[in-house]
Amino acid sequence: MSLGNDVVTDGFAIFPDVLAASDVGELLAALAKSPPQRSRAGARHVLSHPAVATIATDSRLLSVARTVLGPHAFPYRATLFDKSATANWLVAWHQDTALPLRERREASGWGPWSIKDGVHYAHAPAAALEQVLALRLHLDESTAENGPLRILAGTHTLGVLTDEEVHRAASAANAVECVVGAGGVLAMRPLVIHASSKSRSAISRRVLHIEYAAHGEIAAPLELAIDSAR
């Protein structure tokens, strides 16, 4: 899959029309019939939802993840974001550096630690984050008006940055606005610097953000925590 090379060089790639409109409709119907517990921005830990688990392990998504991460890549966490006129937010430039872990075990380069929803999290070193890929499955069309993700291409190669270093990088680079049609997937590395603006549209921007890892043991002796019902 040639677009996988863009993930290597740019830190992200857009795969249009990964799912058909009927697949997206079935997923939305299943989420409406059995809605996950929501916060204002959406719902976390949704990989435990049967419909989400089915999509996350669908061969079309797995092929994208495994092209980048290798043949054993698997989903370990999923979040449903639902940006709309009534649930609207912006996200400043940042990297995604915290990973969920089965237990707290001190390891060089990991930390600070925290606990969220009963799960241990630690900020991870670059070597661990290079084993992770997020696939953002778009359930609605993402346009320039409804708060799409913006990415600074190539910044995943800079390693884990301080807030000041992220700000300097954002000031010096031109952002790519990632508009994606419904059923399309945006693949992205956690260390690529990204942000999003508030929506200026009445059209919802629902995105299923699924995270994949090359191996369960992200760095011995640390193992990833897998989404489960909470």
Whether 229 maps to a domain, the answer reads no
CB 73 within 8 A of CB 212: yes
Whether 20 maps to a domain, the answer reads yes
What six digits make up the tokens of 109?
């380069």
Global confidence as pTM: 0.94
Whether 144 maps to a domain, the answer reads yes
CB 187 within 8 A of CB 207: no
> How many Å apart are CA 110 and CA 169, to the nearest integer?
23
- Count: domains in the chain: 1
Which helix (H) or strand (E) segment holds residue 58: the answer is none
**CATH number, domain at 33?**
2.60.120.620
User: Over its length of 230 residues, how does the chain's per-residue pLDDT go in tens digits?
Assistant: 445 569 999 999 999 999 999 999 999 999 999 988 877 667 999 999 999 999 999 999 999 999 999 999 999 999 999 887 777 778 899 999 999 999 999 999 999 999 998 999 999 999 999 999 999 999 999 999 888 999 999 999 999 999 999 999 999 999 999 999 999 999 999 999 999 988 888 788 899 999 999 999 999 899 999 987 44
Whether 191 maps to a domain, the answer reads yes
Q: What is each CA distance from 227 to 48, 78, 171, in whole angstroms?
A: 6, 7, 36
Whether 228 maps to a domain, the answer reads no
Whether 116 maps to a domain, the answer reads yes
Q: Which domain holds residue 46?
A: 4-223
- Secondary structure of 146-199 in the HEC alphabet? CCCEEECCCHHHHCCCCHHHHHHHHHHCCCEEECECCCCEEEECCCCCEEECCC
Whether 98 maps to a domain, the answer reads yes
Residue located via tokens 């989420």 = 31
